[in-house]
Amino acid sequence: MPPRRQIRAMFESISGRYDLGNRVLSLGIDRRWRRYVSLQIAKLHPCTVLDLCCGSGDLALSVLPAVPEATRCVGIDLAEGMLSQARSKAEKRGHAHHLAFLAGDIENMPFPDHAFDVAMVGFGIRNVESIPNAIREVIRVLRPGGTFFSLEFSKTNSFPLKYLYPFYLHHVLPRVGGWISGEPGAYRYLAESITAFPDQPSLASAFEAGGLQDVHWTNLSGGIVAVHVGRAPGAALQGR
């Protein structure tokens, strides 16, 4: 994994075109992936939600309409350019009063212990320097029994995706991503980091080794992405 200053610089460089790249490269399906996570989170009736590696804010902005009006949400990210996209979208959609976006590192968060009912990360855990450090911090800021959601690219074994997807990933995505953003290197990194990332069972094991409990996952789009869910040690989160 490149050091975090390199990761931050890369996301700064694509921040203005990040959303457009996502929509085009996923054919709009990324919205459905975030929507799935939002519906799972809504079932928990959380009062406080933390969006880690929040980027341009799409996951937080997908969750908020699904949860009670009183729910407070905070997003953190390393890249100021991504945060400013997120803030302007929150303002435009009328969510600025219960949603804040702050500069912060998932491996060293600016929050007290047990501050959140739910923590989530969308397409971010693949980019962190140390997954064990990130999970330790997630557990620290979650209240006992709080729930962690990770939405991330994973491995597909579905026919015919397992044959078509590698071609798309290594030949189509870097070219199209490069045209859209003017930064082909960022989209080559995307393809390489997805290929190198642990598969579903290995990521679940890494989360459990970090201290999360009851880790399980759901494949979306044939396993192109997976949603892993785990619980911080302690009493289970009750619906409120």
Is residue 79 close enough to count as binding ligand SAM by CB under 6 A? yes
Site string for ligand SAM, 2-21 (x = CB under 6 A): --x--xx--x----------
Mutual angle of helices 200-209 and 131-141, in 10-degree steps: 60
User: Tokens at residue 141, please?
Assistant: 């800021």
Which CB sits closer to ligand SAM, 124 or 223?
124
Is residue 137 close enough to count as binding ligand SAM by CB under 6 A? no
Shortest distance in whole angstroms from residue 10 CB to ligand SAM:
8
Interface residue with ligand SAM among 40, 48, 71, 127 (CB under 6 A) is 127
Interface residue with ligand SAM among 17, 37, 105, 174 (CB under 6 A) is 105
The bridge status of strand 213-220 relative to strand 225-231 is antiparallel
Is residue 189 close enough to count as binding ligand SAM by CB under 6 A? no
Interface residue with ligand SAM among 59, 131, 138, 173 (CB under 6 A) is 59
Is residue 140 close enough to count as binding ligand SAM by CB under 6 A? no
3-state DSSP call for residue 86? helix
Amino acid at 193: S
Shortest distance in whole angstroms from residue 36 CB to ligand SAM:
13
Task: Give dist(CA 216, CA 193) in Å, integer.
Answer: 22
Task: Give dist(CA 73, CA 83) in Å, integer.
Answer: 14
Mark the segment that binds ligand SAM (CB under 6 A) among 41-49, 89-97, 103-111, 214-222: 103-111
Site string for ligand SAM, 81-100 (x = CB under 6 A): -x------------------
Cα dihedral 65, 42, 122, 25, rounded to 10, equals -60
- Residue 94 burial by Cβ neighbours in a 10 Å radius (0-12, 13-18, 19+): exposed
Task: Give dist(CA 36, CA 151) in Å, integer.
Answer: 10
Is residue 54 close enough to count as binding ligand SAM by CB under 6 A? yes
Task: Give dist(CA 13, CA 72) in Å, integer.
Answer: 30
Task: Give dist(CA 189, CA 10) in Å, integer.
Answer: 9
Which residue, chain included where needed, has tokens 């050091």?
A: 3
DSSP letter assigned to residue 69:
T
Is residue 122 close enough to count as binding ligand SAM by CB under 6 A? yes
**Count of residues that interact with ligand SAM, criterion CB under 6 A:** 22
Half-sphere CA count of 198, side-chain side, radius 13 A: 13
Is residue 77 close enough to count as binding ligand SAM by CB under 6 A? yes
Interface residue with ligand SAM among 80, 107, 183, 208 (CB under 6 A) is 107
Which CB sits closer to ligand SAM, 107 or 208?
107
Positions in the binding site for ligand SAM (CB under 6 A): 4, 7-8, 11, 53-55, 58-59, 76-79, 82, 105-107, 122-124, 127-128
